[in-house]
Structure 1
Amino acid sequence: MKTVSCLLLLGFFATVTHAQHKISLTTSDNKAPSGMDISGIQVINAVSDSSLLGYVQTGMLNRWGEAVADKPLTIFLQSYVDEQYKSIYKKDAPQLLWVIQELHINERTFSMSEKGFVRLKANAFAGNETFKWITQIDTVLVMSGLDVTHKHGDHIAEALQLLLQASLASKQPDSPAYPVSEIKEKAMQRYRKPALEEKTHEDGIYMTFEAFINDTPSFINVAYDSNTKHFYYKDSTGKRIYVDKFWGLRREGMAFKQYEGKLIPIEQKQNAIVLTDYLPNARRKNNVILGSMIGGGLIGGAIAGAASGGTLPTVDLPYIKKKAPLATGVDIETGEFTL
């Protein structure tokens, strides 16, 4: 019976469903930060992928699933801001305009705890009919606990509170003022990159992210040498030139980013570059931990064996020294792994 139980449990891990988990924002009695008076906050949704917020783990066995806002993203943010901060608004004062560029959450399970992460990247403007840029925030917040899944709403609210603090603390610079339409147009310019356009992309090796995002391969007609386990191209004399380290690769319609000598499959989703196999690979990693928690032996060994086929990079952040978040995508401006 023990063997049957182990097989059933392994089968459960293998067939776990990808249920969606809805994230809500609820108002709190956070004290409004001091600073300039404002008459309101307008939110512009300019995120690279508005279809989901990230990934969470739920239940006793940490079932993986997608996390989505409980309303369309623009309404999700604007309705919360209106309700949360209406008490600090003052008539005839300037307004704040927030351009949300990235908003992502993620989780990571460790042997005795969980970590929850939220990334917020946004630009803040102030004015009325026209607006001046006043500040930018780009940060990843971390929380710890035994069940971080149900706290992501509070965590997002905390990130928005930081944006408000930064906005109110900023002095309006002597910079040009723009109408909202022009600010929206400029916010979308970051997505007008050749690599994000819907077209056929040329196969080849891209030595840098700049080459990848501009769709200009460094080398074309690339082949793979299975003996040396290296990619190569031929120069004008026909000599093989082996390429060891590079940013990425396109081959037969698929795209990859190099990471520690491995190729991580990536793809476009809306205006984002995401890890193609994030969810199943994250589940495999989590199953290794669950196996060790259950007791190792047959279960742990079998799960560990199944997990060996997937590799997930972490996000390199100088202010998170240990237990960094797993990457779910590639930053479209820097080419680095991100939530």
Structure 2
Amino acid sequence: MKTVLAILSAALLMQTAAAQDPVYDKNTDTSSPRKTVSLKKYGYNDPRLEKVTAIEVLPVQWDTTRLGFVQVGLANKKIEARPATSHRHFLQDYINNQYGTQLKPGGAHLLWAVKDLRINEKTFAMNERGYARLKADAYISADGQQYTLIAAFDTIVMRNGMEVTSRHDENIARVIHLLLKTSLDEGLPLLETTIASLPKEAVISSQLSALRMPILEDQFYMEGVYMSYEEFKANKPSITAFHAEKTKKEFSLYTLDDQNNKVPINNAWGFCTKAELYKIDNNNIVPLEKSGNGFIISKYLEDAQRRNKAIFMNAVFGGVTGAAIAAGATQVYLVRSVPYITKQQPEATALDMLTGELTL
């Protein structure tokens, strides 16, 4: 019964390119600075859209509050970037406006399960660079009932310049059009063949179930060391008794054997101590904060929202080890997991809930 209700709820959230958009009551809370991102109509089109009847968005983003963090002021302080409308309608409203008039009856149905949409910017020595990342599973259907997965899309677009803050909307439009192009390239030829498919309800159920994991739903975090992202998601650290130390060169974790000898813990994904979560990134300790169905690096959240207090204290372990945690809480991290961005990498602000790596 719960599954049926979840499917029905998700179906109600989905909008079709021909549907009437509901009125959204904008958030009037101005207690903290933020940038609002709006999308208008841009110069994107594709003649193949005459073979498409509908483009539907299933919003399954882990972060339902923000699009990421952008810079303001001479000190390049990071503030939240939020969509101008509810995340449930933000992309669908844009797609309706951008592509709706190009769609024709009797064509294919596209379904985009949008897992993540993030923007980011960073200042370098000679320029600024803006980023937009879109993750989505693209499906196609001949009848709007049975759908086939055609692409697992994950792309970052970039823009260089001296002022990129005002161009994030264009970056988003650009990466969405790349998703459209990929969907048409991969999907339209399949309609002329016999392909395996799933009912729309099964697609929705599968996408929603991916948001469910114990680390998000359990009441308490289990103390210990996570040796993999899978252990973190399951809230089941494989090493539950551990110690930490800090030398001049590095931070390390270890256990004790029966003779009380130190046994190093190598290649740990992260750990939990005193009900606080940390990811280990390049020998640095990154404090994480739950937000929505995911995790933000603690330093980017306002004090009122932050549960993890390590950013203000150095006594989680005490002494120099505690100082290492406090230092990690204020450090800037980069997104190093994207193979085609080896220079001028974006600043990491969150946890990629699909891979466990740091992301925009």
| TM-score normalised to structure 2 length | 0.76
Matched, 1:333 2:354: yes
Percent pairwise identity = 30
Give the corresponding residue for 1:166: 182
Q: 1:249 aligns with which of 267, 271, 291?
A: 271
2:268·2:280 contact (CA, 8 Å) conserved in 1? yes
2:285·2:328 contact (CA, 8 Å) conserved in 1? no
CA–CA distance in 2 between the matches of 1:160 and 1:261?
A: 35
Structure 2 gap ranges (5+): 1-30, 303-326
Q: 1:46 aligns with which of 37, 60, 66?
A: 60
Residue 178 of structure 1 aligns to which amino acid in structure 2?
A: L
Give the corresponding residue for 2:157: 141
Summarize the Cα distance change of 1:322–1:18 in structure 2 as closer, same or farther, 3 Å threshold. Answer: farther
Alignment of 1:1-339 (within 5 A): 18-32=32-46, 34=48, 37-59=51-73, 62-127=76-141, 128-170=144-186, 171-172=189-190, 174-225=194-245, 230-278=252-300, 310-316=330-336, 317-339=338-360
SS at match of 1:191: coil
- Aligned residues: CA RMSD: 2.4
2:60·2:115 contact (CA, 8 Å) conserved in 1? yes
Give the corresponding residue for 2:323: none
Give the corresponding residue for 1:301: none
- 1:26-48 deviation digits (Å, cap 9, x = unpaired): 10232315377101111110011
CA–CA distance in 2 between the matches of 1:323 and 1:206?
A: 30
SS at match of 1:49: coil
Equivalent pairs counted in the alignment come to 297
| TM-score normalised to structure 1 length | 0.81
Structure 1 gap ranges (5+): 1-16, 281-306
1:21·1:65 contact (CA, 8 Å) conserved in 2? yes
SS at match of 1:43: strand
Residue 129 of structure 1 aligns to which amino acid in structure 2?
A: Q
CA–CA distance in 1 between the matches of 2:237 and 2:301?
A: 29
- 1:13-60 deviation digits (Å, cap 9, x = unpaired): xxxx95111000010232315377101111110011110001112345
Summarize the Cα distance change of 1:144–1:226 in structure 2 as closer, same or farther, 3 Å threshold. Answer: closer
Task: Report the CA distance between 1:95 and its aligned residue.
Answer: 1.3
Give the corresponding residue for 2:9: none
CA–CA distance in 2 between the matches of 1:151 and 1:259?
A: 30
CA–CA distance in 1 between the matches of 2:245 and 2:267?
A: 15
